Amino acid sequence: MGNRLVCGAMTKKMKRRIMIYASIGIGGAILWSIIHWVGWRRITHEFLSLGALGGAVFFLNAVLIFLLWALTWRILLSSYGVERSWRELLGAFASGYTITYITPSANFGGEPVRIYMITHGFKEQTKEATSSVIVERFLNMGSAILLLFIGSVYGLFTDRLSHFFRWGLFGWASTGVLFFAWAIVSFRRHYPWMTKSLGILARLIPWRGYLERATVWFERVEREIDRAFSPRRRHHTQLAFIPAVLSSILYALNPLIFLYFTAGTVLSVLDLSLIFALSMFLNMFLWITPGGLGVVTGGLIGIFALFGIGKAAAVGFSFALKLTEITYVLFGISYMLTHGASRFLHRSVERIPEEVQ
């Protein structure tokens, strides 16, 4: 029995490594093909056209985005009574970001590592830190959905998108807004609609086991977000939403900064909102390689083409963006290496203790 469990764990670890290595290979091949197609000299010219001032502004914007992400989490941690220095906070956040970034799936993956680092190995205030991460993810998702919806509305009135895609994007964004609004109303009225809906589905369809496990997870999420909107914590939650929205706005400004300094192009607010919406769509559905290697770059070529921007500029922008993201990753790696957590770079974090679930 013991040997079987060990073999199963080794097989799971091997499959995970093979998946990551394969996705890196696929992403690298796609990126090489794009560079060969566009021409590395043209890409280098576009990238260097950013200049020292443009590069400094672009990098400063990336730093501000990262600090706003961390500030959102800091406010929520404070509401749960978890006080940490900025160094610890930024290090833990960067560690979680690093694991998420190198995982072939955007948005989630590094949260257990973030909790592990901020609680000093699941030893101090683990339950509170876990709750803060759940609410932080919810608020950042909400801020992105708001900008996504604005961009999708603009997409309805432009001929840059096909009829099918513009309505599909609008429908997807509208569903997200309705979900977010419904969630807030439900939480403020203490109605666990997600758990109840999954419970009903679990009784109707054959995949009962998966849904029952999902129900347990959603029940935890609902409980923590419900607490975040309680009278005692509502002020902190509302305050934390401000830097979350600002971080999304600054992220949406990245194309404006790059194109202004490289080509003197000034994009309108509506254009930026549509680019943000399309980029969100790209990141959520096509992040199938670590860091979106190759795939996201190809997608950006298509997005920029809608606005009459050449493919060399799109790839140059992608490289500038990746350079800032790699800075976050290097910070996260260095923090994990100096705090005895380097093992999380090649294997999953230990399961969060049951008593905080």
pLDDT at 35: 93
Average pLDDT per block of 10 residues along the chain, 357 residues long? 53 71 83 93 94 96 97 94 94 92 66 90 84 89 91 87 87 89 74 66 62 66 74 87 96 96 92 90 70 82 93 95 93 91 67 51
Q: Which two tokens stand for residue 75?
A: 């406010």
Q: What is the dihedral of CA 145, 218, 195, 202, to 10 degrees?
A: 110
Q: Is residue 8 part of a domain?
A: no
pTM, 2 dp: 0.85
Q: Is residue 1 part of a domain?
A: no
| Rounded distance between C-alpha atoms, residue 202 and residue 200, angstroms | 5
Q: Is residue 295 part of a domain?
A: yes
The conformation of residue 355, written as its DSSP 8-state character, comes to G
CB burial of residue 313 (10 Å; 0-12, 13-18, 19+): buried
Q: Which two tokens stand for residue 94?
A: 């960067």
Q: Is residue 75 part of a domain?
A: yes
| Rounded distance between C-alpha atoms, residue 216 and residue 330, angstroms | 35
Q: Is residue 3 part of a domain?
A: no
- 157-194 CB burial, b ≥16 within 10 A, e <16: eeebbeeeebeebbebbeebbeebeebeebbeeeebeb
| Rounded distance between C-alpha atoms, residue 299 and residue 294, angstroms | 9
Parent domain of 286: 23-356
pLDDT at 10: 55
**Residue 147 near residue 276 (C-beta atoms within 8 A):** yes
**Residue 95 near residue 110 (C-beta atoms within 8 A):** yes
Give me the number of domains the chain comprises.
1
Q: Is residue 4 part of a domain?
A: no
